[in-house]
Amino acid sequence: MHEKLKLAALRAMIPRMPFNKTLGMRVARAHKDGVTIEIPLREELMNVAGVLHGGVTATIADAAVGVAIWHHFGGRRRATTTELKINYFRPIERGKVVARSRLLRVGKHLVVGSVEITDADGNSAGFATVTYMLLDAAPAHRGG
């Protein structure tokens, strides 16, 4: 149907998204049905309890589905998050947080993806479901 963006192209997206860059997000792998994204832990991302702030985890879940949609459409469709649901299973204290997204449903208007959140050792740390709405069939980025 269309060519998939290469991993290099996916990786080049992050610096163009200021908040994802602020968090130090990195695309680790592209899969057939989604992507794997990571954020190395550092002091500025922590909560009062010395663990990763849940807002960082929510952000990586949101981004993991967003990048998967970019990947799926070869960058040709713009989309915006309409809702996000996340369950936190255990705190992440060191190393990195890893988000593996899978597109569950690509509809005419809505795309839904699931995200498995793990720590650096592969322990399950959370699970999210994210919905994006596809916008008009405009180019995927401004000024591109």
Q: Answer yes or no whether residue 123 interacts with its own copies by CB under 8 A.
A: no
Q: Is the separation of the CB atoms in 45 and 56 below 8 Å?
A: yes
Q: Answer yes or no whether residue 43 interacts with its own copies by CB under 8 A.
A: yes
Question: Which of 36, 126 has the CB closer to its own copies?
Answer: 126
CA separation for the pair 65, 96 (Å, rounded): 18
Instruction: Indicate which single residue of 4, 11, 53, 76 sits in contact with its own copies (rule: CB under 8 A).
Output: 53
Q: Which residues pair with 62 in a beta bridge?
A: none
Task: Return left, alpha or beta for 49; rule: phi > 0 is left, psi -120 to 50 is alpha, else beta.
Answer: alpha
Q: Answer yes or no whether residue 114 interacts with its own copies by CB under 8 A.
A: yes
The two structure tokens encoding residue 54: 């849940």
- Give the H or E element holding residue 21: helix 18-23
Residues 87-106 that bind its own copies (CB under 8 A): 87-91, 104-105
Instruction: Indicate which single residue of 95, 124, 138, 139 sits in contact with its own copies (rule: CB under 8 A).
Output: 124
Q: Answer yes or no whether residue 85 interacts with its own copies by CB under 8 A.
A: yes
Q: Answer yes or no whether residue 36 interacts with its own copies by CB under 8 A.
A: no
